């Protein structure tokens, strides 16, 4: 029986809106509940000996949502960062952000950079928040940077392989590929998330809506993952 190691989990946190609707609450309250759940899942991941957690918090496509909802999501992110940072730092947790944050509101951007710097040497657990993240965007940026370095003579064409390419992705030198990708709320899509990195990841889809996805559910996903037969293209 397989007993796969797990070090990196990536989650598409979906279903905040439906969670709220089912309870007669506003979408804002759904996002509130979703953001409270993040801390619980970080704790649970540490308990299950996971080392890296990547969370899809805001995609490059989410700007299409109504402005009021975007503002609420930004507020929640900024609140989360302000509220949880000290505790994360005390617990030796490092924060990384993947995505183009140059377009985020200045206040949030400064706060994010401060926390990334503060937690830089922490080693117990790495929380990678994907913000204004889009995988195609990430891949195109990598291609542009590789081209620039090629033109400067820093790299030779023959040296462009998977390993080098990975280094040009967001935090590419710090993050291993996810072992397990989870999407909550019953949608069966990847939605432009980590397309390069999930080449050999195991997928786990659950009907549970993100605010209800708890420690026990995470444990179930890990159990299922552990029993999968991972072959990486071999036999």
> Nearest to ligand FPP by Cβ — which residue?
17
Q: Which of 3, 4, 14, 92 is catalytic?
A: 14
Q: 202 and 234 in contact (C-beta within 8 Å)?
A: no
Active site residue 229: no
Question: Is 35 near ligand FPP (CB under 6 A)?
Answer: yes
**Which residue number, 146 or 194, has a Cβ lying nearer to ligand FPP?**
194
Q: How many residues bind ligand FPP (CB under 6 A)?
A: 19
Please report whether residue 129 would count as binding ligand FPP according to CB under 6 A: yes
Residues 93-112 as b or e (16 or more Cβ within 10 Å = b): bbbbbbbbbeebeeebbebb
Q: How far is the CB of 11 from ligand FPP (least distance, A)?
A: 9
What minimum distance in Å lies between the beta carbon of 4 and ligand FPP? 26
Told to check if 228 binds ligand FPP by CB under 6 A, we report no
Active-site residue among 4, 62, 91, 141? 62
Q: Are 172 and 163 in contact (CB under 8 A)?
A: no
Is position 16 an interface residue for ligand FPP (rule: CB under 6 A)? yes
Please give the positions annotated as active site.
14, 62
Tell me which residues touch ligand FPP (CB under 6 A).
13-18, 31, 34-35, 38, 55, 57, 62, 73, 76-77, 80, 129, 210
């Amino acid at each position: 029986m397989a007993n796969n190691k797990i070090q990196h989990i990536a989650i598409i946190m979906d279903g905040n809106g439906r969670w709220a609707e089912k309870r007669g609450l506003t979408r804002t309250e759904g996002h509130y509940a979703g953001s409270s759940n993040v801390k619980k899942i970080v704790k649970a991941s540490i308990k299950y000996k996971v080392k890296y957690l990547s969370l899809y918090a805001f995609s490059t496509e989410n700007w299409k949502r109504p402005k009021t909802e975007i503002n609420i999501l930004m507020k929640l992110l900024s609140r989360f960062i302000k509220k949880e940072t000290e505790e994360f730092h005390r617990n030796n947790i490092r924060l990384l952000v993947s995505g183009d944050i140059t377009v985020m509101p200045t206040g949030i951007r400064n706060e994010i950079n401060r926390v990334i710097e503060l937690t830089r040497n922490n080693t117990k657990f790495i929380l990678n928040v994907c913000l204004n993240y889009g995988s195609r965007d990430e891949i195109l940026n990598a291609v542009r940077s590789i081209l620039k370095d090629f033109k400067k003579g820093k790299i030779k064409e023959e040296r462009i392989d998977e390993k080098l390419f990975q280094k040009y992705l967001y935090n590419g030198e710090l993050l291993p590929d996810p072992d397990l990708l989870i999407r909550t709320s019953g949608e069966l899509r990847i939605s432009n998330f980590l397309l390069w990195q999930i080449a050999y990841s195991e997928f786990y889809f659950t009907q549970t809506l993100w605010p209800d996805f708890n420690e026990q559910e995470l444990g179930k996903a890990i159990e299922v993952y552990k029993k999968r037969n991972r072959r990486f293209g071999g036999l």
